[in-house]
Amino acid sequence: MSIRFQADNDLNARIIDATLPLNPEIDFNTAASAGFHTGVPDLEVLVAAAEEGADPGQSRSAYTSVAFRQLH
């Protein structure tokens, strides 16, 4: 089973670039490939990640926690 992440626009691409050589089975879906433009609300990224069975890869964990709580 591979790990899946949905990145938002703020996730530094160097994180993806550094992670994939260590474990190429990790599936990073970038914001661009998901069709997210700059300014897409964190809640929208979280919903999309949940629908795809992916973990949200976001740079603002405090905001992610607040948005995640809004889903429940």
Domain containing 9 equals: 4-71
Q: Give the pLDDT confidence score for residue 21 in this predicted structure.
A: 92
Note the pTM of the prediction, 2 decimals: 0.63
What is the total count of domains within the chain? 1
CB contact at 8 A, 36 and 9: yes
- pLDDT(62) > 50: no
State the average pLDDT over residues 15-37.
Answer: 87
> Looking at the predicted structure, is the pLDDT value of residue 34 above 80?
yes
Q: Smallest Cα–Cα separation from 70: which of 32, 44, 40? A: 44
Share of the chain above pLDDT 90, in %: 4
Residues 25 and 2 sit within 8 Å (Cβ to Cβ): yes
Beta bridge partners of 30: none
Residue 16: partners with Cβ closer than 8 Å, 6 or more residues away: 7, 28, 30
What is the pLDDT, as a whole number, of residue 29?
Answer: 85
